[in-house]
Amino acid sequence: MRLNSPQINLIIKACMKASRSLIRDFGEVENLQVSTKGPGDFVTSADKRTEKILIEELKKAHPEYGIITEESGMINKSNTDNRWVIDPIDGTMNFLNGIPHFAISIGYEEKGEITCGVIFNPITNEMFVAEKGSGAYLNNSRIRVSNKKKIKDALLVTGGPKGASKIKDKIFSEYINISNNVSNVRKFGSAALDMAYVACGRFDGYWQRELNYWDIAAGIIILKEAGGFINFFDEVNNNPLKKNIIASNSNIHNELLDLISK
């Protein structure tokens, strides 16, 4: 049975509130007003609405906490000890196209370490929850990463490159190298759910370059608490909000790292 701390309860409450309007918006996806934020990256009014509700709810309980968000940037910048890391809709492209594979992702960071997180797909009603030292859960069931032993049998997931990426060739050649050495590779369009799916053993591993911290903050603790290993490689311009990640079960982690660095 999952025991929730006040912090987790707070995140869940915010998620449930925001998801009500998100579900409505998904139903009306064709009427949504879409504005471009840059090549390959769209922001919808639903994104902004969802984020506003999440921020309001979280701020009610802790007005002093820092917040790193995709749409509103940084709030209470000086508080770096306690921060929420929010992606209101991870999987915007799926959302916009009526594909029910997207999630609200919220991580809580204490003194630089993510200590709890929630990833919630409001359409499938799957909620992934974890807190440091307490395990990871999908709804009320404990989850664990897969036990796949050999990378050649592994089903992996990845994402990118974005339309504007300047390292497409590198990303594609990595893809070829990895796909030649594993059973198969999927690309589902939500980094948060990719991490959550590795955490519950649906995928054996995940890798991706050019991520933002909010894409994966909640996923970090969910995956760790599910027994997974995470590695950040090739630091991006000393920018702590940009990440390249490998996340997998413990058995195939080193082999996957080797494939990336080849």
* Binding of ligand IPD by 190 (CB under 6 A): yes
Size of the site for ligand IPD (CB under 6 A): 14
* Binding of ligand IPD by 121 (CB under 6 A): no
Task: Give 75's DSSP letter.
Answer: E
Residues 215-234 that bind ligand IPD (CB under 6 A): 215
* Binding of Ca ion by 174 (CB under 5 A): no
Residue 178 pairs with which residues in a beta bridge?
none
Stretch near ligand IPD under the rule CB under 6 A, chosen from 84-92, 110-118, 146-154, 175-183: 84-92
Q: Considering CB distances under 5 to 8 angstroms, the limit depending on partner class, which of ligand IPD, Ca ion, none binds residue 222?
A: none
Residue 212 pairs with which residues in a beta bridge?
242
Stretch near ligand IPD under the rule CB under 6 A, chosen from 21-29, 54-62, 175-183, 186-194: 186-194
Q: Which two tokens stand for residue 46?
A: 């639903």
Report the nearest approach of ligand IPD to the CB of residue 6 (Å).
Answer: 27
Report the nearest approach of Ca ion to the CB of residue 92 (Å).
Answer: 5
Residue 44 pairs with which residues in a beta bridge?
34
Q: What is the CA radius of gyration of the chain?
A: 17
Secondary structure (3-state) at 48: helix
Positive/negative CA dihedral, 113, 58, 212, 257: positive
Report the nearest approach of ligand IPD to the CB of residue 212 (Å).
Answer: 6
* Binding of Ca ion by 51 (CB under 5 A): no
Secondary structure (3-state) at 214: helix
For the chain, strand residue ranges (E) read: 34-38, 41-44, 66-69, 73-75, 82-90, 103-110, 113-121, 126-131, 136-138, 141-142, 155-158, 184-186, 205-212, 229-232, 242-248
* Binding of ligand IPD by 87 (CB under 6 A): yes
Least Cα distance to 49 among 23, 77, 27 occurs for 23
Report the nearest approach of Ca ion to the CB of residue 250 (Å).
Answer: 26
Report the nearest approach of ligand IPD to the CB of residue 68 (Å).
Answer: 13
Give the residues lining the site for ligand IPD (CB under 6 A): 41, 87, 89-92, 159-160, 162, 189-191, 211, 215
